[in-house]
Amino acid sequence: MLLSLVSRNNKVFFRNKLLVFFSLLSVLILIGLYAIFLQNLQLNSIAEYVPVTPEIEVLVSEWMVAGLLSIIAMSATLGVFGIYIKDLEAKTTADFLVTAASRYKIQLSYVISSCIIGFSMTFVGFICCEIFIVSIGGELLSPIAMLKAVGILILAVVMSSMINLFIVLFINTETAFSTVSTISGTLLGFLCGIYVPMAVLPTAIQSAIHFFPVSHITVLLRDVFTAQSVEKVFAGYELYAKTYKVDYGVIYEIDGSILSSLMSLLFVLSTIIVLGTLSALVFRRKYK
């Protein structure tokens, strides 16, 4: 039954080209912005510290890819919850409720679908990114780094699903949903320090970003993706390596000390637990 609901959601999502397109829209915009100017901007500023080598372009691309993958997880999972809103508004939910399916199972089916679809899209995105990196002369991630990346992506999808679940529980109409989805698509790039590097932002906003859970996914991914290139690019200029990492959000420096990956991971995990619990409570209140 739960499986039937999930497979129904998945079919509805993948056959609705508009839903798929909009869940990838923020990714397409990001790629566009990169191609047009973001990449050059960053190339030039790194070139101020170290001699220009082809590795710099690889580094910048890897940095971009990390941000892109953390965005796919958010926008794809939100797109799937679009089905939930559509069902709610069109009263399709009523047609489920008159079967043996309970409200709780129906809701759970959207969460599971969002994780499955979120992960499949993220995973396809990951493969495309790796192909892209190799095609511009970069190296494939080492097997261990790849495992790390996949692990982080799974966490990213689960957390994104929880964040979006919590948000959509307060939405009842498609109009409201598309507003939220537009805002989230626009804000995400900024809140993960993708459109504008951390260093350029005012300290207050930097601190706000430190509290935004998705940005920790971006940080973790950047660390994994750029590790090899950072070593190459900053060989002989190790002092600048740390400056670069902090300025571009490859690592977070909070109150003068570096935030470890473990801390970021714990923050992500606790976000999943807290929002999961809160969603359950809101759900019970909403449909008691």
Partner 1 sequence: MTYAIEVSNLKKHFGTIEAVKGIHFQVKKGSLFAFLGSNGAGKSTTIEILCTLLEKTSGEVTINGHRLGTMKDNERIRKSIGIVFQQSLLDKELTVKENIIHRGRFYHLTKAQLIENYQFVWQYLKLGEIELKKYGQLSGGQRRRADIARAIIHKPSILFLDEPTTGLDPHTRKFVWETIERLRKEIGMTIFLTTHYMEEAANADQIVIIKKGEIIAQGTPNELKERFASDQMVLSFKKEADIQQIAEQLGYVMVQFGDVYKVNIPSTLHAIPIIERIQPFLTSFEVIKGSIDQVFIHINEEAGDMNAT
The residues of the shown chain that bind partner 1, judged by CB under 8 A, are 1, 4-5, 7-8, 11-12, 15-16, 90-92, 94-101
Residue 232, H or E segment? helix 213-233
The CB-of-7 to partner 1 minimum distance in angstroms stands at 7
**Residues whose CB falls within 8 Å of the CB of residue 273, separated by 6 or more in sequence, listed in order:** none
* Residue whose CB is less far from partner 1, 90 or 187: 90
Output the smallest distance, CB 91 to partner 1, in A: 6
Q: Which DSSP category does 36 fall into?
A: I
Helix (H) / strand (E) containing 258: strand 257-258
User: In the complex, what is the shortest distance from the CB of residue 286 to partner 1, in angstroms, rounded to a whole number?
Assistant: 14
- Minimal distance in Å, beta carbon 241 to partner 1? 50
Q: Report whether 92 contacts 83 (CB < 8 A).
A: no
Structure tokens at 235: 């060989």
> Which of 141, 8, 12, 124 is closest to 72 using CA atoms?
124
Q: Smallest distance from the beta carbon of 109 to partner 1, in angstroms?
A: 10
Cα–Cα nearest to 22, from 68, 65, 80: 80
Tokens representing 250 are 């490859």
Q: 170 or 287, CB closer to partner 1?
A: 287
Nearer to partner 1, 98 or 204 (CB): 98
What single letter denotes the amino acid at residue 111? V
